[in-house]
């Protein structure tokens, strides 16, 4: 986890260009995490971290808070979070948007 950023609500749809060897990840959080960065890395490659911010998103009249990771190679990843009771490992499958719930 790094720093927090203040963001606007995202109302446009997210396009996921996933396929044969690429998947994607969404981590749902509560509102308190809005603006926080959540880092992930391939398992056993801790130095290859990438991150995205938790953003407020409005979908079908509902407000959600989520970090959306765009296409990434299928495989096992570590989620670098502050709470050990939340999932810290995830498998990204090809042609699938994987969801993790931290709410």
Q: What confidence score (pLDDT) does residue 70 get?
A: 87
Please say whether the dihedral angle defined by the alpha carbons of residues 15, 58, 1 and 99, taken in this order, is positive or negative. Answer: negative
pLDDT values of the chain reduced to their tens digit, one per residue, 103 residues: 445 545 566 555 666 778 889 999 999 999 999 999 999 999 999 899 999 999 999 888 899 999 999 899 999 999 998 776 776 899 999 999 999 999 9
**Domain 22-101 fold:** Immunoglobulin-like (2.60.40)
In DSSP notation, 79-91 reads EE-S-TTS--EEE
* Residues whose CB falls within 8 Å of the CB of residue 85, separated by 6 or more in sequence, listed in order: none
């Amino acid at each position: 986890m790094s720093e927090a950023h203040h963001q606007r609500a995202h109302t446009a749809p997210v396009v996921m260009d996933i396929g044969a060897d690429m998947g994607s990840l969404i981590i749902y959080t509560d509102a308190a995490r809005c603006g926080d960065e959540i880092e992930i890395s391939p398992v056993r490659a801790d130095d290859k971290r990438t991150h995205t911010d938790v953003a407020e998103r409005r979908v079908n009249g509902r407000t959600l808070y989520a970090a959306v990771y765009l296409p990434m190679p299928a495989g096992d990843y570590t989620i670098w979070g502050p709470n050990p009771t939340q999932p810290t490992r995830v498998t990204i499958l090809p042609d699938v948007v994987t969801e993790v719930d931290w709410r």
